[in-house]
Amino acid sequence: MAKRKLIFDVDTGSDDALALMSALLSENEFEVLGVCTVSGNRDVDNTTENTLRVIELLHKEHIPVIKGASRPLIAKLDYTRHINQQLETVDENGEIISYHAEYLPLPAAKIKPLEKVHAASWYIQTLLNSEEKITLVLTGPLTNFALAYRTAPEILDHIAEIVIMGGGKNQTNSTSASEFNIFFDPEAAFITLSVGSKVPLTMMMLDATHQAYLTYEDAARLRKLNNAIGEFAAVETESRIKAYNLLQPLGKKDIAPIHDALCVMYLLDPTVITKKEFLHVDVVCGGIANGQTLIDNRRASQAIKNVHVCYSTDSDKFREMLVSILEKSNYLH
């Protein structure tokens, strides 16, 4: 079967890193054309450097990294839109615990991002020049894609499908109404979701990604690989477990959602998602529910459907898939 061509857009980010690694290790299934970066978990300079580190870890230096937006389209102009979530704490040993370190614990990158091109322009050039349709995997705030689409809406003709980590129905994190990627740039999310009536657009909601987790047992299995990739994946898993236990306890203890990796697992095997509906989804821009994904599940709704909404995950399948893909690092070309 022909390999699926992918473009990633990331704010690396511990879970973005694992998502990207899993795609790069799925060499028979995917060809990654490039990785765009955006501000989100950290500033774009950090998310770019972190992405370059991951590319080097996987020895995929031929894949371009393209730096993108340093700020959301509008959100930071509006000082009333405050995050309402603790992102860092200190554990009993005085160690700083956070979801995403400023820099991933990997050697500083020797490679650089592409010169003199912004991610939004790169999207436009790459998509318009491609005869084959390309799948977009967007695991950070949606600023780059929104800029590209507003500039050149004809890029849609070159997109096979868009898979996004973002939003939530009954689960939120940044505020009581919103999930981080959408909260960070709600206008960009609004623009991006509007294309879902024209190209297939699937969203991994927090409801699904909170069930897409790894455990300490998985980390131990990764460490046993005895290579740099396994060690890094184990360290990130353990540090995310600590962060979730201390900052955002979920229904279960000692688990680390690897939100962004669910996009990749879904592309490899859609049955990892156990509940999905095609519905109309809006994004609230501004006000008390800033960044909320409003899912119209009225049976008689006349609203145009734009999002394949994923709500729930087969956790065991996700764990087994992700860990066994990372185990392929022993045979990396």
Site residues (vs ligand BDR, CB under 6 A): 13, 15-16, 41, 99, 139, 165, 173, 179-181, 259-260
d(CA 254, CA 105): 21
d(CA 225, CA 144): 36
142: alpha, beta or left? (left if phi > 0; alpha if psi -120 to 50): alpha
CA triple 234-108-93, angle to 5 deg: 50
Q: Which two tokens stand for residue 46?
A: 């950090």
Nearer to ligand BDR, 139 or 143 (CB): 139
Q: How far is the CB of 201 from ligand BDR (least distance, A)?
A: 16
139 counts as binding Ca ion under rule CB under 5 A: yes
Nearer to ligand BDR, 124 or 146 (CB): 146
Q: How far is the CB of 271 from Ca ion (least distance, A)?
A: 24
Nearer to ligand BDR, 52 or 137 (CB): 137
Residue nearest to ligand BDR (CB): 180
Nearer to ligand BDR, 113 or 166 (CB): 166
Q: How far is the CB of 49 from ligand BDR (least distance, A)?
A: 16
- 11 catalytic? Reply is yes
Q: How far is the CB of 127 from Ca ion (least distance, A)?
A: 22
Q: Which does 325 bind (CB under 5 to 8 A by kind): ligand BDR, Ca ion, none?
A: none
Catalytic site residue from 11, 15, 218, 314 = 11
- Residue among 99, 70, 94, 117 nearest 256 (CA): 99
Residues with active-site annotation: 11
Give the footprint of Ca ion on this chain (CB under 5 A): 11, 13, 16, 139-140, 260
